[in-house]
A and B are shown apart, each in its own frame.
Chain A
Amino acid sequence: MSFRNLPLAIDHERDKSTLFTPEIRAAIDKHIAKYPSEWRQSAVMPALTLVQDANGGWLTQALMDDIAVYLDMPPMSVYEVATFYGMYDLEPQGRHKVCVCNSISCMLQGSEELIEHVEHKYGVKPGETTADGRFTLKEVECLGACRDAPAVLLDKTYHEKLSPDALDKLIDDLE
């Protein structure tokens, strides 16, 4: 067998107990406990999510480096994961994320109108944040809510069968 995969465990010689907050460390530890002890790196995705959520929705290089230390990983391996998956953001974000699905089923049910509406009314293109920092508009691939198209993921909640007016109401209610 030619294929071998081993954890990339390395020792950073930094005190893990100074990283993040006790709450975040406890939350990451709960994930680490799900995997074999030599596979701390398996917790990198939930760790990135937890740290990103606690940092206003985006990741800095310093935070990714801290995750590398906490999980005994080479920093590059953390960067690889953070840049590969679509839900990690490496730039400052608005206070909310408005993710409009624009894959086939949503497109057939009018997702492009939703995007155009938000673009015009709030002056943002997908990937941009409103001038007041209220939200970042994102055009995302299939959310798996095709029967309730068009769908929008607003922070952590799905909103379905949306019209431009209904989406407006949701956005108006954002802080």
Chain B
Amino acid sequence: MVESQNTQNQNSVCFRTMHLDEAVRHTLESYRGIGGYAQWERILRERPDPNDLIEEMKISNLRGRGGAGFPTGLKWSFMPRNAPGQKYIVCNSDEGEPGTCKDRDILRYNPHQLIEGMAIAGYCIGATAGYNYIRGEFYEPIARFEGALEEAYAAGLIGKDIQGSGIDFDCYSHMGAGAYICGEETALLESIEGKKGQPRFKPPFPAQYGLFGKPTTINNTESLASVPVILEKGGKWFLEQGRPNNGGLKLFSVSGHVNNPNNFEVPMGTPFRALLEMSGGVKDGKALKAVIPGGSSVPVVPGDLMMDVDMDYDSIAKAGSMLGSGAVIVIAEGTCMVKVLYNLSHFYMHESCGQCTPCREGTGWLARVLHRILDGEGRLEDLGLLDSVAGRIGGRTICALGDAAAMPVQSFLKHYRHEFAYMIEHGRSMMAA
């Protein structure tokens, strides 16, 4: 029995337009048809105390869906909302964590819910302007989001003195141009300010000194798009969809060696076994070798262990990894783990912003040493060297990209050391043997 008790609520938050015809599900009319903008209009009419809304968000236990898992309501409460001057809400749609492809579908298929979420967040934190930072390659999602903005402005849902409420909210898109690091929230702010995307040293945190030097909150696309449904159905409803400390539904992007890779919005705590079944099982009927359960930055989990794990923050942490962005990368038996790790390390080398020496130099060392092992020129001492370099990056950099580069290396060597040793000794993959 692998069914989760709440599968009937699948696709009921960020994906609640998914049942509509693909050609029209992104339009204002479609979104209105499922009760869209009702929460925003209630706020415009009744002007509730923002603290009450933030309290509802805290009850919901929504945790940042970009990967860090920081409670959204708590984050909002850090904003000096009554301080004079401009404040900003920024949406992080720089989706680039390998394996993650959920925010793209929110932008394409439910952009109005994101706009409503941004407007509500702005009201809660005292921000009258919002920017949505969308990665530059997302031409189609950008067009969808900008089209939705035009519709929302034309319908008088955003802008100045909206519906005579005295509430202002202007919303803009900002296009990226190909840099994974801009998903780090302070690098993203630097990028909106027209600079290289290099993370800022903290403190000060963005809630004190953010975009253009003003108090700013940055939330992930999925987090913000969840807000209207949380307010509609209540924080308690959302929490109860999942488990204590792991509230709500969550989008999981299942990719890699499965028969039907896809995005699934399911309750937090859904067994991995059920998610794998929804994805059609491992491709070509092979056995499950390993899973990277939360995007490429988190530690790999051996397949047999993963089959007993539930998809929530705490259960995955117990298995030695992290839920991260909810990107579940499935790896089938027969895959060469040296090759997989080289692919990951090459990514981090390419995407390191170059600001901190341990990351800039260390990611290059990791990729080059792995490359030489793959080339059949590995040395016996290389495994120790990889351990050592990874250990000297983690925790020694301004942002988490350093940790993200180190964790895969450490976990692959922990679980699949024999494959690396075999390749060094024989000059070829154990999987080709």
Which residues does A use to contact B, with CB under 8 Å? Answer: 1, 3-7, 34-36, 39, 41-46, 48-49, 71, 73, 77, 80-81, 84-88, 99, 102-105, 107-109, 140-149, 153, 156-158
Q: Which 6 A-B pairs have the closest CB atoms?
A: A86-B178, A41-B194, A85-B177, A87-B178, A146-B255, A105-B255
Q: Does B194 contact A71, Cβ atoms closer than 8 Å?
A: yes
Known contacts A71-B194, A86-B178, A103-B347; is A156 also within 8 Å of B139 by CB?
yes
Rounded to whole angstroms, the CA-CA distance of A141 and B178 in the bound complex is 9
| B3 shortest CB reach to chain A, Å | 23
Binary interface profile of B, 242-262, with partner A (CB < 8 Å = 1, else 0)? 000000000001111100011
Judge whether B29 is part of the interface by a CB distance below 8 angstroms.
no
Known contacts A45-B191, A103-B98, A156-B139; is A142 also within 8 Å of B196 by CB?
no
Q: Does A80 contact B97, Cβ atoms closer than 8 Å?
A: no
Q: Does A39 contact B212, Cβ atoms closer than 8 Å?
A: yes
Q: Using Cβ atoms and an 8 Å threshold, which residues of chain B touch A158?
A: 140
Rounded to whole angstroms, the CA-CA distance of A71 and B18 in the bound complex is 42
**Which of A46, A49, A99, A141 has its CB near the most chain B CB atoms (within 10 A)?**
A141
Q: Using Cβ atoms and an 8 Å threshold, which residues of chain B touch A3?
A: 200-201, 204, 209
Rounded to whole angstroms, the CA-CA distance of A72 and B139 in the bound complex is 28
Judge whether B343 is part of the interface by a CB distance below 8 angstroms.
yes
**Which of A4, A5, A49 has its CB near the most chain B CB atoms (within 10 A)?**
A5
Rounded to whole angstroms, the CA-CA distance of A162 and B140 in the bound complex is 18
Q: Does B340 contact A104, Cβ atoms closer than 8 Å?
A: yes
| B49 shortest CB reach to chain A, Å | 29
User: Which of B196, B212, B292 contacts A84 (CB under 8 A)?
Assistant: B196
Known contacts A142-B98, A144-B137, A146-B253; is A49 also within 8 Å of B177 by CB?
yes
| B107 shortest CB reach to chain A, Å | 10
Judge whether B96 is part of the interface by a CB distance below 8 angstroms.
yes
Inter-chain contact total with CB atoms closer than 8 Å: 163
Rounded to whole angstroms, the CA-CA distance of A148 and B263 in the bound complex is 10
Q: Using Cβ atoms and an 8 Å threshold, which residues of chain A touch B180?
A: 141-142
Rounded to whole angstroms, the CA-CA distance of A157 and B95 in the bound complex is 17
| B186 shortest CB reach to chain A, Å | 10
Q: Does A157 contact B99, Cβ atoms closer than 8 Å?
A: no
Q: Using Cβ atoms and an 8 Å threshold, which residues of chain B touch A49?
A: 136, 175, 177
Known contacts A3-B200, A103-B343, A142-B98; is A147 also within 8 Å of B261 by CB?
yes
Which residues does B use to contact A, with CB under 8 Å? Answer: 86, 95-101, 103-104, 131, 135-140, 172, 174-180, 190-197, 200-201, 203-204, 208-209, 212-213, 253-257, 261-263, 292, 296, 327, 329, 331, 335, 340, 343-344, 347, 350-351, 353
Q: Does B329 contact A105, Cβ atoms closer than 8 Å?
A: yes
A38 to chain B: closest residue by CB: B212
Q: Does A104 contact B177, Cβ atoms closer than 8 Å?
A: no
Q: Using Cβ atoms and an 8 Å threshold, which residues of chain B touch A141?
A: 96, 98, 180, 347, 350-351
Q: Does B175 contact A46, Cβ atoms closer than 8 Å?
A: yes
Rounded to whole angstroms, the CA-CA distance of A122 and B343 in the bound complex is 24
| A110 shortest CB reach to chain B, Å | 11
Rounded to whole angstroms, the CA-CA distance of A71 and B193 in the bound complex is 12
Q: Using Cβ atoms and an 8 Å threshold, which residues of chain A touch B131?
A: 34
Q: Using Cβ atoms and an 8 Å threshold, which residues of chain A touch B208?
A: 1
User: Which of A4, A104, A156 contacts B213 (CB under 8 A)?
Assistant: A4
| A136 shortest CB reach to chain B, Å | 15
Q: A103-B343, A142-B296 are in contact. List 19 more A-B contacts (CB 8 A).
A: A5-B190, A34-B174, A35-B192, A39-B194, A41-B194, A41-B195, A42-B194, A45-B176, A105-B98, A105-B261, A108-B335, A142-B180, A143-B137, A146-B329, A147-B101, A148-B261, A153-B137, A156-B139, A157-B140
- 10 A-B contacts, Cβ less than 8 Å apart? A5-B193, A84-B197, A87-B137, A103-B98, A146-B101, A147-B253, A147-B261, A147-B263, A156-B139, A158-B140
Q: Does A77 contact B177, Cβ atoms closer than 8 Å?
A: no
Known contacts A1-B208, A34-B174, A141-B351; is A45 also within 8 Å of B101 by CB?
no
User: Which of A36, A45, A105, A107 contacts B177 (CB under 8 A)?
Assistant: A45
Rounded to whole angstroms, the CA-CA distance of A4 and B343 in the bound complex is 37
Q: Using Cβ atoms and an 8 Å threshold, which residues of chain B touch A85?
A: 136, 176-179, 197
Q: Using Cβ atoms and an 8 Å threshold, which residues of chain B touch A84?
A: 179, 196-197, 353
Q: Using Cβ atoms and an 8 Å threshold, which residues of chain B touch A42?
A: 174, 192-194
User: Which of B140, B179, B262 contacts A147 (CB under 8 A)?
Assistant: B262
Q: Does A87 contact B136, Cβ atoms closer than 8 Å?
A: yes
Q: Does A41 contact B193, Cβ atoms closer than 8 Å?
A: yes
Q: Does B172 contact A149, Cβ atoms closer than 8 Å?
A: no
A104 to chain B: closest residue by CB: B98
Rounded to whole angstroms, the CA-CA distance of A145 and B101 in the bound complex is 5
Q: Does B98 contact A80, Cβ atoms closer than 8 Å?
A: no
Q: Using Cβ atoms and an 8 Å threshold, which residues of chain A touch B213?
A: 4-6
Known contacts A34-B174, A146-B99; is A81 also within 8 Å of B194 by CB?
yes
Rounded to whole angstroms, the CA-CA distance of A81 and B193 in the bound complex is 11
User: Which of A48, A77, A104, A105 contacts B195 (CB under 8 A)?
Assistant: A77
Rounded to whole angstroms, the CA-CA distance of A98 and B178 in the bound complex is 15
Known contacts A81-B195, A86-B177, A149-B255; is A102 also within 8 Å of B136 by CB?
no
| A147 shortest CB reach to chain B, Å | 4
Rounded to whole angstroms, the CA-CA distance of A68 and B262 in the bound complex is 43
**Which of A3, A46, A102 has its CB near the most chain B CB atoms (within 10 A)?**
A3
Q: Using Cβ atoms and an 8 Å threshold, which residues of chain B touch A34?
A: 131, 172, 174
B139 to chain A: closest residue by CB: A156
Rounded to whole angstroms, the CA-CA distance of A170 and B191 in the bound complex is 33
Q: Using Cβ atoms and an 8 Å threshold, which residues of chain B touch A86?
A: 177-179
